Amino acid sequence: MAAIEAPEFDLLDHRMFAEREPWDVFAWLQEHAPVYRHPEPDGDGFWCVTTYDDVLHVLKQATLFSSQVGGSARIGAVEPDVLEARRNFMETDPPLHSEWRRPFARDFTPKSIARYTDQLRGIVDGVLDEAFEKQDICWVHDVAALIPIRVLGTLLGLPESQWDRFIELGDRMIIDSDPEIAKYVVGSPEAEAYKYLPFGSEAAAELCAMGRETIDRRRAEPEDDVLSILATMEIGGCPLGDRDLDNNFALFVVAGNETTRQSMALGLLALLRDERAMAEFSAPGGVTPQSVDELVRIASPVWHFRRTATADTELHGVEIKEGERVVVWFAAANRDPSAFPDPHRLDFTRKKDEHLAFGRGGPHYCIGTHLARLEIQVLYEQLFPRLKSIEQTGPERRLVSNFTNGLKEFPVRITAR
């Protein structure tokens, strides 16, 4: 039998993701090695799971494929004391995870999120006013980056006087592998000094101190916002310590910011590359929960999350041993042709809630799903009636990151009607 020619790839190479979206690599893996042992220079390698069915299987078996044992946000092995110091509730397994998530969940239901709609429209309109004024803008910096963080400020209940600083610190925490964005790139000696802080970020101390001011006020006088829940909740019958407060405050800031920003950025890029889809989406009545969901599938701002096997098991006929790392590639699964025929095409007739961009299937299913969808929906609902034309005016530049699928520059010209 002839050997199968594998494309050359290294999914640990952040720069590759800056140069291109490696759909050819994922297509090859899905066809020839759906559960693939990826080598790594300083370890024994990790499993890459790329098909829709397999990713869903891993997400559903949340205790067999644990988020708690080795963490969920890094492919590489994390030192145990660092993991403990930085653990947020996303890096816990059921039943502990359920105890954490339950109090927040009620604040993120569609009904609960709907109460922010008017404020959201105000935020989006303000951002668009300035963008239309400028005309030549960077869609990432001038539009997509501004909305999610302002929404988070509202949702968390931070005072507006702190927002500018909040936005700057939130941004600095996010992409730690891109030297143009991070102050200290992950793995550098400088970054090492901050490894015990939330997300290992130099910006975390100031950001969390800002959160703590509001948390202290909410503890004395709870209001109807997410930080009041964090301030007053108990785990195992005990109020939260400082570390838990900081780590989980930082989780909301990081999880709700860059992901939504990139759905807005990559979504527009996909629309501008496909005249038919843009015409359908921008037509009256074209922006619907279903079409927005398809935009999120195509965008898929999260490349992967990681799990650790807690027992020997088998996946797609491949033996996985207890303790081995299993990396689920969400964006690849969302372009798996066996789940999404003609997967690189925007097709607004696809069924809603099928894709895995929000980690559907398991207990960690994104708590901000409804909020993110509403933000994207409101952005386009407010944009299209004002828009005469929109065109890309220069090449987009991609993030240096194998974790966040996204853009850092996206020049466009927008003209008002």
Residues that bind ligand HEM (CB under 6 A): 67, 72, 89-90, 101, 152, 251-252, 255-256, 259-260, 263, 296, 301-302, 305, 330, 357-359, 364, 366-368, 371-372
With respect to ligand HEM, which residue has the nearer C-beta, 72 or 228?
Answer: 72
Report the Cα–Cα distance between both ends of the chain, in Å, rounded. Answer: 62
| Rounded least distance, CB 183 to ligand HEM, Å | 24
User: What is the smallest separation between the CB atom of 279 and ligand HEM, expressed in angstroms?
Assistant: 24
Which residue number, 29 or 371, has a Cβ lying nearer to ligand HEM?
371
How far is residue 126's CA from residue 131's CA, in Å, rounded to a whole number?
Answer: 9
Return the closest-CA partner of residue 252 out of 175, 339, 151: 151
Q: What is the 3-state secondary structure (H, E, C) of the chain?
A: CCCCCCCCCCCCCHHHHHHCCCHHHHHHHHHHCCEEEECCCCCCCEEEECCHHHHHHHHHCCCCEECCCCCCCCCCCCCHHHHHHHCCHHHCCCCHHHHHHHHHHHHHCHHHHHCCHHHHHHHHHHHHHHHHHHCEEEHHHHHHCHHHHHHHHHHHCCCHHHHHHHHHHHHHHHCCCCCCCCCCCCCCHHHHCCCCCHHHCCCHHHHHHHHHHHHHHHHHCCCCCHHHHHHHCEECCEECCHHHHHHHHHHHHHHHHHHHHHHHHHHHHHHHCCHHHHHHHHCCCCCCHHHHHHHHHHHCCECEEEEEECCCEEECCEEECCCCEEEEEHHHHCCCCCCCCCCCCCCCCCCCCCCCCCCCCCCCCCCCHHHHHHHHHHHHHHHHHHEEEEEECCCCEECCCCCECCEEECEEEEEEC
CB of 28 or CB of 252, closer to ligand HEM = 252
In terms of phi and psi (left: phi > 0; alpha: psi -120 to 50; beta: otherwise), the region of 20 is beta
Q: How many CB atoms lie within 10 A of CB 259?
A: 24
| Residue of minimal Cβ distance to ligand HEM | 368
Nearer to ligand HEM, 28 or 307 (CB): 307
Minimal distance, residue 69 CB to ligand HEM, in Å: 13
Work out how close the CB of 100 gets to ligand HEM at its nearest, in angstroms, rounded to a whole number. 8
Please say which residue, 92 or 184, places its beta carbon nearer to ligand HEM: 92
Least Å from the CB of residue 301 to ligand HEM: 5
User: What residues pair up with 238 in beta bridges, in sequence order?
Assistant: 235
Of 88 and 184, CB closest to ligand HEM = 88
Minimum CB distance to ligand HEM smaller for 364 or for 408? 364
Which is nearer to ligand HEM, 364 or 398 (by Cβ)? 364
In the complex, what is the shortest distance from the CB of residue 285 to ligand HEM, in angstroms, rounded to a whole number? 23
- Least Å distance, CB 189 to ligand HEM, is 29
As measured in angstroms, the least distance from the Cβ of 104 to ligand HEM is 7
How far is 371 from 109, CA to CA, in rounded Å? 9
Closer CB to ligand HEM, 137 or 255, in the complex: 255
Nearer to ligand HEM among residue 70 and residue 256 (C-beta): 256
Cα–Cα distance measured from residue 378 to residue 261, given in angstroms and rounded to the nearest whole number: 13
CB of residue 232 vs ligand HEM: minimum separation in angstroms? 18
Tokens of 159: 């005072």
Please, what is the minimum distance in Å from the beta carbon of residue 230 to ligand HEM?
11
Question: Which residue, 147 or 184, has its beta carbon nearer to ligand HEM?
Answer: 147
Residue 67 CB, nearest distance to ligand HEM (Å)?
5
